Amino acid sequence: MKHLSLFIGLCVALPGNCLAQRAPVWSDSGTPEVLTFLAKLELASWTQNADAYAALFAGNGKWDGPFGQNAVGPSNIRTAVGQFFTEFGPLREAATTVTFQISPDVIMLDVYQMTNGRHASLDPKLIAPGSGAPPRFADVRTTLILRKGDSGWNIFAARVADLRTATARVTAR
């Protein structure tokens, strides 16, 4: 908890540095394991490998997409994420920040990514007063709940938000 408080304090004091670099994960369960896990997530996103992406989820993991889609379990997530990758293209990491370490075995974090060849176009009028802006060039934010089990880290829940509000999007009918 002491390390998490220090991390939050540094992010308040040095926001540019915290967004420019991957935030450390302060965990008794092993930072290298989490960073290795996140590298797999980044690779699957960049290569648009829905199979590899879905394999990172727990058996009862949940994925909510930016247009109201939701999927439970790796096989359903594979299908939903495949459609998501078709819409957004390869995703490159802009920043990863630890939002909250719930316990040594449960972490909530945000992964900000940019789409291939497009930049964020968030309309400043849509940002609530007092809110911070997303990291530069962030087009997508995925909030992840990671849980460590016997076989290592898995995604328990993922919520994807499209930050490109001023661009054309698919609308649900």
Query: Which residues, including other chains, have CB under 8 Å from residue 99's CB and lie 6 or more apart?
Result: 108, 109, 110, 143
* 99 in any annotated domain: yes
* 173 in any annotated domain: no
Rounded-to-integer distance, Cα 117 and Cα 76, Å: 28
* 146 in any annotated domain: yes
DSSP string, 22-49: PPP---TT-HHHHHHHHHHHHHHHHHT-
* 169 in any annotated domain: no
Instruction: With 0.75 as the threshold, say if the pTM is over it.
Output: no
* Domain of residue 121, residue span: 2-162
Q: What is the pLDDT of residues 75-98, one digit of tens each?
A: 999 999 999 998 888 888 888 887
CATH of the domain at 101: 3.10.450.50
Provide the number of structural domains found in the chain. Answer: 1
Spatial strand order of the sheet with 152-162 comes to 70-72, 57-64, 152-162, 140-149, 106-115, 91-103
Q: Considering just the CA atoms, what is the radius of gyration of the chain in Å?
A: 16
Q: What is the pLDDT of residues 26-50, one digit of tens each?
A: 334 346 888 889 999 999 999 999 9
